[in-house]
Structure 1
Amino acid sequence: MVKPARWKALPLAAYSAPSLITSVAALPMALFVPAFYADQLGLPLAAVGMALAASRLLDVVTDPAIGVLSDRLRLPLGRRKPWMLLGTPLFMISLWKIFVPGETASALYLAGWSALLYLGFTMIDLPHKAWGAELSTDYDERSRITSWREALSTTGQVALLACLVWLVEMGVNDVAVQLHAVAVAIVLALPVLLGLCLFTTPEHPPERLDHGPRSTREGWIIVARNPAFLRMVGCVFLFVSGVVIQGTLHRLVLADVMGDEARFPLMILLENVATLAMVPVWLAISIRIGKHRALAVAALWLAAWSLPLAFLREGDTTIMIINIVIRGSSFASILFLANSIAADVIDVDTLESGEQRSGLFFAVWGMVIKLALGVGVLLGTALPAEFGYDPSAVSVSGDVQSALMSIYGIVPAVLMGLGALFLRGFPVTKQVHAQIRAKLEARAMPRSIPLNTSA
C-alpha cells in the first residue's frame, strides 16, 4: 500500500483545503458575472454569453496537455504540486481582473481573462484531483478522501452564500461591491490554504509495472477499451447535464412561476447546507453497499425528488424549497463517489498500461464534465424557448409555465435515471478492486522514497 489504511482528519483537511476557496469562484462566475457585465458595464447580454462560452474553448487543449504533462514530468517538488503552485497566481490575477474590472471592460477583455482564469483553475484542480486519487490504494479510503474534498468545496460555497445573504440584509445590494468582497477574500485566503496543502501532504512516486514503455497511440487505445471508465463517462455526463438543467432554471422558475425570486439565495444556501450535512451518511452507505450502488441510489434519489417539481405553481415556493433541499441532499455524494470510483478505474488502466496516468484520466473526466455543463445549459435554455418561454416577457401563460416546469422537473429526472443504468453490473466492485490491487503490487517495480512524507 502507498499509505496506511486510514488517514487522520487533520491531514485530510489540509489536503482538501484549496477546494474551500477554488470552489467559491464558480458560483459568482455563473450567477453574478454575466448580469454584472450586462447590467452595470453595459455590454450586450449576447456578447457576454459568447465571451464566456469562447473562454472555455482553450480547455480542449489545456486540459489534456496539463494532465499528460503532470503524469510524465518529474520535477523537484513532484508531479502534481508544481502545477498547483504555477496555477495559483494566474488564477488569482485573472479572478481579480474579472471581479474588479475597469469601467471600459469589453467582451474581449472578459473572454481573455476568463480563459486565463479557467487555465489557472485547471492547473490547480486537475493535479489536485489526480494527486488525491494516488493518496491511498484502499477502496473505501478513497471515498473518505474525495468526500473530504467535496465537503470543503461545499463549505466554501455555503460560506459565500451566507456572506451574500448577510450583505443583502445589511443593505449592500450593489453586485460590484459584492464581487469585490469575494475577490479580496479569495486572494487573501488561497495562498494560505494552498501552502497548508502543499507543505503537509505527501506526494508519492507513481506506480510503474515491469514492462517497456507504450506509445501514445497505444496508451489512448487502452483508455478507449476500459469499459469501467466508459461507463463512468456515460453516467457522469448524464448526471451533470440533468443537475445543470435545474441549476440554469432555478432563478427563472422562482421569478416566472412561483413569483418569489427574492428567496433564490436562501434556497441555494439551504440546499448546500443539506448536501454538506449528508456527506457522512452517503459515505457510510457507500461503505456498506459499495460505491457504484451508492452512486446509483444517490442519483435515483435526486431523480425521485425532481419529479414533484413539475407539478408546482405560483404560491408553492415553500414546498419548492423543501423539495430542493431534500433533493439536493445527495448532490455532493454524486461528486465524491464518482471521483472515488474514477481512482479505482485508473487502477484498471495502470494494470494494463503499466503507468499510473491519473492526470490523463482526470483531464478526460474534466472535459466530459465541461461538455455536460454546456449541454445542460443549452437544454435548460433552448427547450423552454422552444415552448415559447421568454424571461423578458411581462407575463408567462399557464401552458408555458407547465412546459417550463416539466423541463425543470421531468427532464433531469429522466437523465439521472438513464445515468444510473450505466452503473448496473459495474465491473469494478470492492472485491474486484482488491484483486486488481494484488496484481498491481505483485508486478510493481520498486518505488523511490516518497517526495514528501510529512502528514
Structure 2
Amino acid sequence: MTLAPERVPGWQDHARYGALGLPLAFVALPLYVILPAHYGQTLGVPLALLGAVLLASRLLDALVDPWLGRWADRWLDARTDHAPHGAWWPLAAGALVLALGFAALFFPPVQGSTPLLWWCGVTVTVTCLAFSVCTITHQAWGSRLGGDAQTRARWVAWREGLGVLGVLLANGLAASWGVGALVTSLCLTLALALWALWRAPAPPPRLIRASAPPQRPHWAAPWRHDEFRRLLLLYLVNGVAAAVPATLVLFFIRDVVQREDLVGPLLAGYFLMAALGVPLWVRLIGRWGPSRAWALGMGAQVLAFSSVSWVGPGDVGLYTAVCLSSGFMLGADLTAPGTLLTGVIQRAGPTGEASLAGVFTGWWQLATKLNLALAAGLALPALGWLGYRPGVGDAASQSALVMVYGVLPCLCKALALWAWWRLWARRGLE
C-alpha cells in the first residue's frame, strides 16, 4: 500500500508497520538470556567453550551489519509501481531462515560436547545474521517513511513498543511452557507480522535527478556526515548506561534484594511500564522535539535510578518502585534516538543520491550491539576489582554490586546529558 502525499498515516498504518517488531524482539531475549543456560545447564556444554563460540558468532554478526544495511538499501531501491514492496520478499526470506535457525538452535539433533558446540556455532550465527537482516531492513523501511518529528516518532514508537511486548511475551512463555512454546509462537507471530507489513505503507521510491546516474550506497558513507557521528557517539554513551543494569540485574536481585523468586515479575513490570510510557513520550516529542524529550528522559532516569543506592536485602517495595519508574523513563530511549536518526537520514540523503537509510541503520545496529559488549567489558571487571563474589551476599559484595549496578549507570547517564548539550543541543539540532 502506498500513501497518497496528502494523506496522514493512521494508527492502522503504524501498527501494520510496527508489527514485525514483536517477533523480532521476541527472538532477542532467548538468544541472549535463555540460550547460554540451555546449552550450559540443560545440554551440559562447557561454559568456557560455549562463551567463546557465542562471542565469536556475535562479533561476526555485528561486523557485517553495515554491509547488510547496504543490501537493505538496494532492496528498498528496487521498489517499482508493479512491485511496491521491493524489500518485503528479502524480509520474508530472512524471517523464514530466522524461524528455522531458531528451532534448530534449541532442538539440536546431535549429542556430545564437541558436536553440540559446532551445531550451536553454526546455527546461532545463521540465526543472528537472519535476525540482523530482518531488523536492519525493517528499521530502514521505517526511516524512509519519514514525516515530521511526531510522525517519525510514531513509526518508531509502534515498532519499539510492540518490541517491548514481544520481550514480555517471550519471558512469560519461557517461564511457563519452555522453548517449544517459544518456537511455535515465533513462527506464528512472524507470519502474522509479515502479513501486516505487506499491507503497511511502502517506502516511496527514491528520487533522482534526470541527469544523475544511479549511485550505489557505500558502506562507510554515513561517516561523512557530522550529525550522524555526533548522534552515534551520544547514543553509545547513553546505551552503555542502559546496558550495565541489564547485564547485572539478575545478580542484583539475587545478591542484594535477595528475592530471586521475583525476577520474572520485576522484569515484567519494568518492560510493561516502558510500553505504557511510549505514548506519552511520543506526545512530548511532538510538543518539544525529540532532542529535548530525550534529554528530559535521561535526566529523569538518573533521578529514578539513583534510589538503587538505598536498596538492601528485602527492600522489595523500594526496588519495585525503582523498576517501575525507570521502566517508564525507558520510553524516551525507545522513541527519541530512532526519531533523531530518521531526521539525520532525511537531511543526509539529498535528491540525486540513493537513500542511505539501510547503511545508516546498519551502523546503528552495530552500535547497539557494541553497547552490550562495552557494558559487560566495563561492569564485570569492575565488579571483580571491587571484590564482588557471586552468590555470597556478604556486605562487601553487596556494596560492590550497588556501586557498579547503581552508581555507574547514573554517571554514564550524566555524561550522556553533558554530551547531548555539547554535541547536539548547542548546535540547535533536532
| Superposed pair shares fold, TM > 0.5 | yes
Amino acid at match of 2:189: A
CA separation of 1:200 and 1:212: change in aligned 2, threshold 3 A: closer
Structure 2 equivalent of residue 180 of structure 1: 180
Deviation at 1:121, TM superposition (A): 0.8
- What is the correspondence of 1:86-105 to structure 2 with a 5 Å cutoff? 86-102=93-109, 104=111
The answer on 1:125 being equivalent to 2:122 is no
Residue aligning to 2:41: 39
Contact 1:16 1:148 survives alignment (8 Å): yes
Once the two structures are TM-superposed, the CA of residue 197 in structure 1 deviates from its matched residue by 0.7
Deviations 1:237-264 (A, max 9, x none): 1122111110111111111122111100
Matched pairs, number: 420
Q: Hey, what's the Cα distance between the residues in 2 that align with 1:28 and 1:296?
A: 31
Instruction: Tell me the distance in 2 between the aligned counterparts of 1:356 and 1:324.
Output: 40
Letter in 1 for 2:192: V
Question: Which residue of the other structure, out of 47, 64, 67, is the alignment partner of 1:65?
Answer: 67
Note if contact 1:92-1:187 (Cα within 8 Å) is conserved in structure 2. yes
CA deviation string 1:196-241 (max 9, x = no partner): 2124432321233577469889x67763242221121111111221
Distance 1:310 1:338 in 2: 28
Query: What do the CA deviations read for 1:142-198 (whole angstroms, capped 9, x no partner)?
Result: 011111111111122223334455x2xxxxxxxxx5111111111122122212212
1:316 & 1:211 partners in 2: Cα distance?
Answer: 68
Q: Distance in 2 between matches of 1:31 and 1:63?
A: 22
Q: Flag the 1:44–1:2 CA change in 2: closer, same or farther, 3 A.
A: farther
**What is the CA distance between 1:352 and its match in structure 2?**
8.6
* Structure 2: distance between partners of 1:236 and 1:3: 32
Residues 257 and 24 of structure 1, relative CA distance in 2, 3 Å threshold: same
Query: Is 2:84 the counterpart of 1:85?
Result: no
Amino acid at match of 1:416: K
Q: Secondary structure at the match of 1:351?
A: coil
> 1:136 maps to which residue?
146
Residue 165 of structure 2 corresponds to residue 155 of structure 1? yes
Partners of 2:333 and 2:288 lie apart in 1 by 15
For 1:407, the equivalent position in structure 2 comes to 404
- Mean Cα deviation higher: 17-26 or 307-316: 307-316
* Cα pair 2:149 2:289 within 8 Å, conserved: no
Q: Distance in 1 between matches of 2:152 and 2:428?
A: 15
Cα separation, 1, equivalents of 2:220 and 2:90: 27
In structure 2, the gaps of 5 or more residues are none
2:233 alignment partner in structure 1: 234
Distance 1:425 1:400, change over 3 A: closer
C-alpha distance in 1, partners of 2:422/2:210? 31
Asked if structure 2 preserves the Cα contact closer than 8 Å seen for 1:70 and 1:79, the reply is no
Matched, 1:373 2:372: yes
Distance 1:320-1:345 versus aligned 2 partners, 3 A rule: same
Q: Judge conservation of contact 2:212–2:352 (CA < 8 Å) in 1.
A: no
The one-letter code sitting in structure 1 at the alignment partner of 2:34 is F
> What is the aligned partner in structure 2 of residue 450 from structure 1?
none
CA distance in 1, matches of 2:351, 2:164: 35
Task: Determine the C-alpha separation between the residues in 2 that align with 1:428 and 1:313.
Answer: 38
Gaps of 5+ in 1: 168-176, 434-455
Matched residue, 1:207: 207
Q: AA paired with 1:130?
A: A
Partner of 1:52 in structure 2? Answer: 54
- Deviation for aligned residue 1:428: 8.7
Deviation at 1:405, TM superposition (A): 0.6
Give the RMSD, CA atoms, in angstroms: 2.6
1:436: which partner in 2? none
| Aligned residue number for residue 9 of structure 2 | 7
In the alignment, the residues of structure 2 paired with residue 206 and residue 54 of structure 1 have an alpha-carbon distance, to the nearest angstrom, of: 37
Distance (Å, rounded) in 2 between the aligned partners of 1:358 and 1:8? 23
Which sits farther off after the overlay, 103-112 or 124-133? 103-112
Contact 2:207 2:351 in 1 (8 A): no
Q: Tell me how far 1:26 sits from its aligned partner.
A: 1.1
Please give the alpha-carbon distance, in whole angstroms, between the structure 2 residues aligned to 1:224 and 1:309. 38
Matches of 2:27 and 2:231 in 1, distance apart?
Answer: 26
Q: Secondary structure at the match of 1:95?
A: helix
Matched residue, 1:298? 297
Q: Is the 8 A contact 2:22 2:164 kept in 1?
A: yes
Single out whichever of 202-211 and 184-193 deviates more from structure 2. 202-211
The CA deviation string for residues 347-402 of structure 1, in whole angstroms up to 9 with x for no partner, is 221139833210010001111111111111222322112222232x5x23312211
Closer, same or farther in 2 for the Cα pair 1:213/1:251, shift >3 Å?
Answer: same
1:226 alignment partner AA? H
Q: 1:5 to 1:304 in 2, by over 3 A?
A: farther
Give distance in 2, aligned partners of 1:291 and 1:210.
35
Compared CA separation, residues 406 and 4, structure 1 to 2 (3 A): farther
> Partner residue of 1:389?
388
Query: Which stretch shifts more, 395-404 or 292-301?
Result: 395-404
Q: Counterpart amino acid of 2:336?
A: L
Deviation at 1:71, TM superposition (A): 1.6
The Cα shift of 1:335 comes to 2.1
Query: In structure 2, how many angstroms separate the alpha carbons of the residues matched to 1:289 and 1:426?
Result: 18
What secondary structure sits across from 2:178 in the alignment? helix
Q: Does 1:268 align with 2:267?
A: yes
Over 3 Å counting, the alpha-carbon distance change for 1:428 and 1:416 in structure 2 is closer
Q: Which residue of 2 aligns with 1:29?
A: 31
Report sequence identity in percent: 22
